[in-house]
């Protein structure tokens, strides 16, 4: 867990399964947010503090040292608004996981895969906007908030037909 400093906030945590996995690995300082109604089931462990996500949610209340943003940004109609909210919360490190556009996996492929996974295979209330970017486009966007390190350009997840990228952002503390 070299990238994780506790406490960790899982931003738009989905069904909570990543928080559960992190808890099982010994991460004890966890909190999560998710939009009400987007996921019918929650797998969050009972000790994980959770608050419904809203655009006006003060993310600083969690006192997080790390924010996990896992396959979230490409679903956001306005990812900059979410990133700005994280910057206002003064969370020093962000861990970002995204599935990125490549020569092999085009924007239209990602849009199809999003609709299939989020509307057909599962019934999630997620936005399926045209928000996919290349690794370098994500890194460029994130660089406005701090130093970006590409930790892994392409790692695979069993059962998923495309790779994910892992980025760490060490944020400049911005003042409002």
Alpha-carbon distance 134 to 35, whole Å?
Answer: 26
pLDDT band at 175, cuts 50/70/90?
very low
The predicted pLDDT at position 20 comes to: 92
Average pLDDT over residues 27-45: 82
Q: Over 90: is that where the pLDDT of 58 sits?
A: yes
Confidence label for 160 from pLDDT (cuts 50, 70 and 90): confident
| DSSP reduced 3-state for 121 | helix
How far apart are the C-alpha atoms of 49 and 163, rounded to whole Å?
A: 30
Please choose, from the candidates 90, 95, 82, 93, the residue with its C-alpha nearest in 3D space to the C-alpha of residue 56.
Answer: 82
pLDDT at 10: 94
Residues 48 and 64 sit within 8 Å (Cβ to Cβ): no
Q: Which of 37-41, 73-77, 94-98, 153-157 is predicted least confidently?
A: 37-41
> CA 56 to CA 22: how far, in whole Å?
27
The answer, yes or no, to whether residue 122 has pLDDT greater than 70, is no
Q: How confident is the model at residue 69 (pLDDT cuts 50, 70, 90)?
A: very high
Please tell me the predicted confidence (pLDDT) of residue 66: 96
pTM of the model: 0.86
Query: 62 pLDDT band (50/70/90 cuts)?
Result: very high
Provide the mean pLDDT of the chain. Answer: 84
């Amino acid at each position: 867990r070299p990238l994780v400093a506790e406490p960790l906030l899982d931003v738009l945590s989905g069904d909570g399964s990543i928080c559960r996995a992190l808890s099982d690995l010994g991460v004890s300082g966890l909190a999560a947010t998710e939009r009400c109604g987007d996921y019918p089931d929650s797998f969050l462990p009972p000790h994980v503090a959770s608050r419904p996500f809203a655009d006006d949610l003060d993310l600083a209340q969690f006192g997080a040292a790390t924010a996990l943003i896992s396959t979230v940004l490409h679903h956001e109609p306005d990812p900059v608004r979410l990133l700005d909210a994280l910057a206002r919360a003064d969370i020093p490190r962000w861990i970002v996981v995204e599935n990125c556009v490549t020569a092999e996996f085009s924007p239209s492929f990602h849009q199809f895969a999003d609709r299939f996974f989020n509307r057909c295979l599962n019934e999630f209330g997620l936005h399926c906007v045209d928000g996919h970017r290349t690794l370098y486009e994500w890194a460029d966007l994130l660089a406005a908030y701090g130093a970006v390190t590409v930790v892994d350009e392409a790692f695979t997840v069993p059962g998923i037909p495309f790779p994910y990228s892992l980025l760490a952002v060490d944020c400049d503390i911005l003042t409002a």
